[in-house]
Amino acid sequence: MTDHAQYLIQQEPFYQPLHQEVELYQAAWDERLPVMIKGPTGCGKSRFVEYMAWKLGRPLITVACNEDMTASDLVGRYLLDADGTRWLDGPLTTAARIGAICYLDEIVEARQDTTVVIHPLTDHRRTLPLDKKGEQVAAHADFQLVISYNPGYQSLMKDLKQSTKQRFAALHFDYADPDHEADIIARETGTPRDQAVRLVKIAATARNLKGHGLDEGISTRLLVYAARLINRDIAPRLACRMALVDPITDDAEIRDTLYHAIDAVFGADGA
Ligand SMILES: Nc1ncnc2c1ncn2[C@@H]1O[C@H](COP(=O)(O)OP(=O)(O)OP(=O)(O)O)[C@@H](O)[C@H]1O
Ligand SMILES: [Mg+2]
């Protein structure tokens, strides 16, 4: 039971619902359907999963996926110690045993031979075979698998197989509409709302450049950074350059366009 408690989220995370995602997730949870959350970086996917785990009172185990990850990193492995070898459950196995929500972040980063280990857990079997240990773990009734991915980045080489995709119900996320996004920034950072509104305006310019020189617009996460720098008495113009523009582009022309957008919103005197 200690395992269980250790993964519980103690405090309500701030999450601003934008559409019907809370109800939709709740219904998927009630049916223990695996859920896929798609959307650009920094738009609230992880925050939403934390919020839902808190709301449902379920432990949350998050795994950041990467291309070097192996199936053993998810399911577990034998470790050698002074007393010989000992099995150590991986995060997926722990989640299946204790009935946690297991959140595999950026799942497409993982190789397909890693990804397939989730297959038996995400269909009627709800089991996880630990081949090396010779054990079949039957998932706890409250186990649920959630994956996230950013549809923008995929090359053909890096996509989920249909047989993986078609094991999930999907929620599509995007940056909040301007009003809600300003609310989110004000609430997250304590910055005055009119300041938050200005930041959101700058983001709008960058988001229009997506596909025209920018791979991705300015995320809500970066708007939160800018507000936090401004709260530290950094001039808004400098804070915006540092948090909103310089991280996302190396292209001098795009940078100038965005610097101009900042000047237009805050005034070239750096107000
Ligand atoms: N609806 C929302 N309610 C509350 N905060 C939000 C919301 N959307 C975005 N945020 C803010 O944006 C930040 C980034 O969100 P989050 O970390 O959930 O992004 P993400 O979609 O998981 O991104 P990545 O794909 O890069 O992991 C949060 O820390 C939070 O400050
Ligand atoms: Mg995330």
Q: Identity (one letter) of the amino acid at 143?
A: F
Q: How much is the average pLDDT of 42-67?
A: 96
Beta bridge partners of 89: 76
From ligand 1's centre to the CA of 127, what distance in Å? 31
Q: Measured from the CA of 18, which atom of ligand 1 is nearest? A: 1
Lowest mean pLDDT among 72-86, 87-101, 127-141, 155-169: 155-169
Q: Is 218 in the pocket of ligand 1 (CB under 6 A)?
A: no
Which ligand has its closest atom nearest to the C-alpha of 42?
1
Strands 144-149 and 35-38, sheet pairing: parallel
User: Greatest CA span in the chain, whole angstroms?
Assistant: 68
Q: Helices (DSSP H) in 60-141: which residue ranges?
A: 71-75, 91-98, 112-115
Beta bridge partners of 81: 84
Q: Is 109 in the pocket of ligand 1 (CB under 6 A)?
A: no
User: Tokens 């449902």 belong to which residue?
Assistant: 56
Which ligand has its closest atom nearest to the C-alpha of 43?
1
Q: List, edge to edge, every strand of the sheet that includes 60-64.
A: 60-64, 101-105, 144-149, 35-38, 169-172
From ligand 2's centre to the CA of 271, what distance in Å? 33
Which ligand has its closest atom nearest to the C-alpha of 183?
1
3-state secondary structure of 163: helix
> Each residue of 173-220: pLDDT tens digit?
999 999 999 999 999 999 999 999 999 999 999 999 888 888 889 999
Q: How much is the average pLDDT of 92-109?
A: 95
Quote the pLDDT of residue 26. 98
Q: How much is the average pLDDT of 244-261?
A: 94
Q: Measured from the CA of 173, which atom of ligand 1 is nearest? A: 21
Which residue minimizes the CA distance to atom 6 of ligand 1? 44
Which residue minimizes the CA distance to atom 9 of ligand 1? 44
Share of the chain above pLDDT 90, in %: 79
Q: Measured from the CA of 44, which atom of ligand 1 is nearest? A: 18
Quote the pLDDT of residue 269. 59
From ligand 2's centre to the CA of 154, what distance in Å? 16
| pTM, full prediction | 0.94
- 10 Å CB burial of residue 1 (0-12, 13-18, 19+) is exposed
Cα angle for residues 102, 108, 112 (degrees, 5° grid): 95
